[in-house]
Amino acid sequence: MITALVSRKGGVGKTTTAVSLSAAFAARGRRTLLIDLDSQCSASLSLGVDRYALAPSSADLLLRDMSAPEVIRPTAVPGLDLITSSVDLLSADIELGLTTGLRRRLRSALEPVRNRYDQILLDCPPSLSVMPQTALVAADNFVVPIVPQYLAIEGLQNLLDAVDRLGDRFGFAPTPLGIVLTMVDYRTREMRQQVDLVRRIFGDMVFAVEVRVNVRLAEAPAAGQSIFDYDSGSTGARAYGLLAEEMLLRAGVFERTGVSDEPVEAGPREPRLP
Ligand SMILES: Nc1ncnc2c1ncn2[C@@H]1O[C@H](COP(=O)(O)OP(=O)(O)OP(=O)(O)O)[C@@H](O)[C@H]1O
Ligand SMILES: [Mg+2]
C-alpha cells in the first residue's frame, strides 16, 4: 500500500506523521519504505541522516534515472528503509512540471520494488505543486493531517476536489484514507470547537485517533530518532501506534474481528499482525 501525506498548509504535522507512522508500521512487522519528497529534507534529517549524506536521493530517482534499489537505504529502525530527499528537488518541480508525463515517473520508478514492501509512505512538501502531484499519481491512497484551528477546514474540501481532478487527468486516483487531527490541545476552547466542526463536516473520514500536542514529538527529530526510540512511553508514541493500527483497519489489512469493540483512544495494546 502506497500512502501519500499531503496538505496545502505548512507545519501541520505531515513529516512527523510520515516518520512516526513509518516507524510504527515497521515495529508491527510490516516492511516499510519512507520516501522523502520535500526539498527541506525534514523526514530524512529526522531519521538521523547527516545533512552531507543525503545523496543518493529521490531527486536522483526522479531526475537522473537512478533506479529505486540504488537510492534506497536502511535506517536505524529495523524494517524501515528510506529514500532521502535533497535540495535538488527544488528544481524538480520546474523540470517535472515542464515535461509532460513526468508526474507518472515516481509510480513507474517504484514498480520494481513495491512488492518488497507492505507499506510505502510519501512525505510531501506543503502545496499541491508538481511534487505532491507526482506522489499522488504514485499513491493508492492519501492522508491529510490538519491542526484543528480557525480556518483549518478552509481548503480541505478544496484539496479533496483537487485530488479528484488530478485522478481524472492522469488516470490514477488515490482514495482518501482519512483526515488526521494533529497537535490537538484541549486546553483551548477554540480547538475543541474546531475538532467538533471537522468531525461534523467530514464524519467518518476523520480518524478516531487524535494526535495531541506532545513536546516529545517535537524533540525527537533533533535526536534523529523516531518517537518510539526517543520516548516509547510518550503520548505521541501511543497515538501514532494506534493511528497506524486504525489505518491498517481502514485499508482492510487487519481483520476487524475482535478489534472493533475496543475504543481506539485506549492505552497501548499488543500489535495484531494480519
Ligand atoms: N503532536 C505534536 N506535538 C508537538 N509538536 C509537534 C507535533 N506534531 C508536529 N510537531 C512539531 O511541529 C512542527 C511542524 O511539524 P511537521 O514538520 O511534522 O509539519 P509539516 O506539515 O511536515 O511541515 P512542512 O509543511 O514544513 O513540511 C515540527 O517542529 C514538529 O516537530
Ligand atoms: Mg514536512
Which ligand 1 atom is nearest residue 182's CA? Answer: 1
pLDDT band at 154 (very low <50, low <70, confident <90, very high): confident
Question: Which grid coordinates belong to 30?
Answer: 510490516
For atom 16 of ligand 1, the residue with the nearest CA is 13
Looking at residue 155, what is its pLDDT?
Answer: 79
- Residue 269 and residue 75: Cα distance in Å, rounded? 25
- Residue 150 and residue 159: Cα distance in Å, rounded? 17
> Which residue, among 223, 159, 148, 237, has the nearest Cα to 190 in the 3D structure?
148
Q: What is the pLDDT of residues 190-236, one digit of tens each?
A: 999 999 999 999 999 999 999 999 999 999 999 999 999 999 999 99
For atom 5 of ligand 1, the residue with the nearest CA is 218
77 alpha carbon – ligand 1 mean position (Å): 20
261 alpha carbon – ligand 1 mean position (Å): 32
Mean pLDDT score of the chain, rounded to an integer? Answer: 89
Q: What is the pLDDT of residues 22-57, one digit of tens each?
A: 999 999 999 999 999 999 999 999 999 999 999 999
219 alpha carbon – ligand 2 mean position (Å): 15
How many other CB atoms are found less than 10 A from the CB of residue 231? 18
Question: Which grid coordinates belong to 79?
Answer: 524494517
Pocket of ligand 1 (CB under 6 A): 10-16, 38, 42, 126, 182-183, 211, 213-214, 217-218, 221, 236
pLDDT band at 100 (very low <50, low <70, confident <90, very high): low
Looking at residue 269, what is its pLDDT?
Answer: 41
Residue % of the chain over a pLDDT of 90: 72
Q: Are 29 and 146 in contact (CB under 8 A)?
A: no
Q: What is the DSSP string of 209-244?
A: ---B--HHHHHHHHHT--HHHH-TTSHHHHHHHHHH
Half-sphere exposure of 104 (CA within 13 A, CB side): 9
Q: What is the mean pLDDT of residues 262-271?
A: 42
pLDDT at 109 over 50: yes
pLDDT at 4 over 80: yes
How many other CB atoms are found less than 10 A from the CB of residue 196? 11
pLDDT band at 258 (very low <50, low <70, confident <90, very high): very low
- Residue 138 and residue 131: Cα distance in Å, rounded? 11
Select from 5, 6, 12, 15 the residue to mutate for testing ligand 1; criterion: most ligand atoms less than 8 Å from CB: 15
DSSP E strand stretches across the chain = 2-5, 32-36, 73-74, 80-83, 119-123, 141-146, 175-181
Highest mean pLDDT among 71-75, 151-155, 259-263: 71-75
Looking at residue 150, what is its pLDDT?
Answer: 81
For atom 14 of ligand 1, the residue with the nearest CA is 11
Select from 5, 9, 12, 16 the residue to mutate for testing ligand 1; criterion: most ligand atoms less than 8 Å from CB: 16
Which ligand 1 atom is nearest residue 125's CA? Answer: 27
- Residues shown for the chain: 274
Q: Could you give the strand order of the β-sheet that contains 119-123, starting from the edge strand earlier in sequence? A: 73-74, 80-83, 32-36, 119-123, 2-5, 141-146, 175-181
168 contact partners, CB below 8 Å, separation of at least 6:
none
42 alpha carbon – ligand 1 mean position (Å): 10
pLDDT band at 255 (very low <50, low <70, confident <90, very high): low
